[in-house]
Structure 1
Amino acid sequence: MNSLQQPRKWESFFWPLLTVAAFLALWHFAVVWTATKIFPSPLDVERGIVTLAHKNVLWLDIRDSLRRVAIGYGAAVVLGIPIGLILGWYPAINQVVNPAMQILRPISPIAWIPVAIIFFGIGDDSAVFLIFLSAFFPIVVACIDGVSNVPSMFRRAGRNFGLSPLQLLAKVVFPAALPRILIGLRISLGIAWLVVVAAEMIAVDSGLGYLIIDSRNSGKHYDLVVAAMLMIGVIGLILDLGFRRLEKMRSVRWGFRYES
C-alpha cells in the first residue's frame, strides 16, 4: 500500500527528467516541422545561454534580479509578519484597517509602475518598491488567517499556565499559525519573482526582465529571449523547492500537528 501511495526514490527523479526530455523533444520537432525562422530551437537557446554565460551577462542579470527580490521581499516579510500577527490578534484593529487593505490589495503591482517611477524615478528603488507591494499583502493576509484560525483552546490553555499576552502570541499562537504563514510566504515569493521581471522591463537597465526586452529590441534575438525566460522558470522552481523543504522541517511540524 505504501509503495502505491509514495513513489520510490528513483521515480522522483526519473519521471520529472522524462517529462523535461519529452518537452524538449516536442519543442525541437515543432520548430523543425514549422520551419520557422523566428522562434529558436532548444539548441539555439543553449548556444545563447553559453554566449551570455561566457560574457558574464547572464550571471550579472541573475544576481541583480535576485538582489532586488531579496530586498523587496525581505522588507515585506519584516513588516508584513508583525502587522499580520497584530491584526489577527486584535480583531477590532483588523476591522478598522481591513477596508483600506481590501481596496489596495487587489490592485496589480504592475498598475503601480507609473506611481513608483514618479516617487522613486528610474532605477532599483522603483523595482524594489513594486516587489515589496506584491509580497506585502499576501503575507499580511496569511498571518491574519493563521492567527484567526488557531483553536481557542490553545489560547485558554496558555492563559491557564499564566502566560502573558506577548508570551501567548510568541510561544503558542505563532507556532500554531506558522504552517499557514509559510504558505503565504511561499505564495508571496512566487508573486515577487513574477513582478521583478515586469518591473525590470520598464524601470531598470539590468536583470532578467531587462535582458528579455533588450534582446527583443536589439536585433530580435529570440534565442536570448527564450534563454532568459527559461532561467526565470528554473530559478522560480528552485525558490519554490526551497520553501517546500522549509515547510517539511521538523520545527514546522509542530504547527501542522496542532492544525489537525
Structure 2
Amino acid sequence: MSASVLAPPAAGAARWPSLPPRWRAATARAGAGIAGLLVLVLLWWAGIALLTAPGSIARAFGPVEGAAALARLLAEGEVLIHAGVSLRRVLVGLGAALLIGVPLGLALGAWRGLERATGPAFQFLRMISPLSWMPIAVMAFGVGDAPVHVLLGFAAVWPVMLNTAAGVRALDPRWIMLARSLAASRRETLWRVVLPGVLGHVLTGVRLAIGILWVVLVPCEMLGVSAGLGYAILDARDRLAYAELTALVLLVGALGFALDAAARALCRRRGG
C-alpha cells in the first residue's frame, strides 16, 4: 500500500466531514458578513469612545448602551407591539402596491401605446418623494393608519409596476404563439404563460419595494399615529431616553435586514 493510504487522516478531517461546496460557500459568505458587522460595531464604539467626553449625553448613543437598552425593551415586550404594528403597515402597503402595480405593469408591458402615453406621467409621479405627500395625505384621510397606508402604497407601487412591465417585455414571444396555437383563451394565456413568466421580475420588484417601504415607514409613523417604531423613536426622543432611541434604531435596522434577507431568499428560490 502507498504511504498516503496508510497515513492517518488529519485531525480536522476526522472530526468535521467535508461539507458540500454549496454549504462551504454559504458558510464563507456568512463569516465574511459577520466579520463586516463586527468591524462596523468596532468603528462605532471607537468613534463614541474617542470623540465624546466621559459622562456626556453622546455616550448614550454607544453600542454597549444601545444593546443593553434593546435587551431591556425586548424583555418588557412593549417594543414588540410597536414592531408588530409597523410590520402590519408594511404588509398593507405592499399588498396595495401589488394589487395596483401588477395589473398596471402587465398592461404597460403588453401595450406599447399605453406605455408611451402614460410613461412621462408615471415617471413624474415616481420622482416625487412619498414623504412630500404627507400633509396632503393627512388632510385627505385624517390621522391614523389610513394616510400611512396610502403613502406606503404610493412608495411601493413603482418598483412593482416597472419590474412587472419589464418582465412582460422580456417574455419569449414563442410562448405566446404556442399558447395561441393550442387555442388557449386570453385568461388561460395570462394565468399559465404570462404570470409564471413574469414572476421572477415581480419578486425583484417586491424586494425593491420592501426596502423603500421600510425606509419610508419610520418618518410616516412620526405623524399622527400612536403606535409603531417611528412613533416609539419620537417618544424616546421627547423623553430624552437616548439609549432607548439607539436601541430602537438598532431594531429598525435588524428588522429591515431580516425582511430583505427573506425577500432575497424568495428571489433565489424562484431563480433556482
Q: TM-score range by the shorter chain?
A: 0.7 to 0.9
TM-score, reference length from structure 1 = 0.87
Equivalent residues in 2 for 1:50-199 (5 A)? 50-199=71-220
Matched with 2:28 is 11
In structure 2, how many angstroms separate the alpha carbons of the residues matched to 1:26 and 1:43?
13
In structure 1, how many angstroms separate the alpha carbons of the residues matched to 2:139 and 2:222?
17
| Structure with the greater alpha carbon radius of gyration | 2
In structure 2, how many angstroms separate the alpha carbons of the residues matched to 1:19 and 1:97?
44
Supply the AA of the counterpart residue of 2:243.
D
Q: Describe the SS at the equivalent of 2:57.
A: coil
Unaligned runs of 5+ in 2: 1-19
Q: Is 1:214 aligned with 2:225? A: no
In structure 2, how many angstroms separate the alpha carbons of the residues matched to 1:80 and 1:237?
24
Q: Describe the SS at the equivalent of 2:231.
A: helix
In structure 1, how many angstroms separate the alpha carbons of the residues matched to 2:102 and 2:35?
40
What is the total number of aligned residue pairs between the two structures? Answer: 249
In structure 2, how many angstroms separate the alpha carbons of the residues matched to 1:5 and 1:248?
14
TM-score, reference length from structure 2 = 0.84
In structure 2, how many angstroms separate the alpha carbons of the residues matched to 1:99 and 1:168?
29
1:237 paired residue among 243, 252, 257: 257
In structure 2, how many angstroms separate the alpha carbons of the residues matched to 1:103 and 1:29?
44
Unaligned runs of 5+ in 1: none
Equivalent residues in 2 for 1:36-51 (5 A)? 36=53, 37-39=56-58, 40-51=61-72
Percent identity between the aligned chains? Answer: 30
In structure 1, how many angstroms separate the alpha carbons of the residues matched to 2:178 and 2:187?
15
Instruction: Specify whether residues 30 and 145 from structure 1 end up closer, same or farther in structure 2 by C-alpha distance, changes over 3 A only.
Output: same
In structure 2, how many angstroms separate the alpha carbons of the residues matched to 1:136 and 1:194?
15
- Offset, 1:52: 1.9
What's the C-alpha RMSD, in Å, of the aligned pairs?
2.2
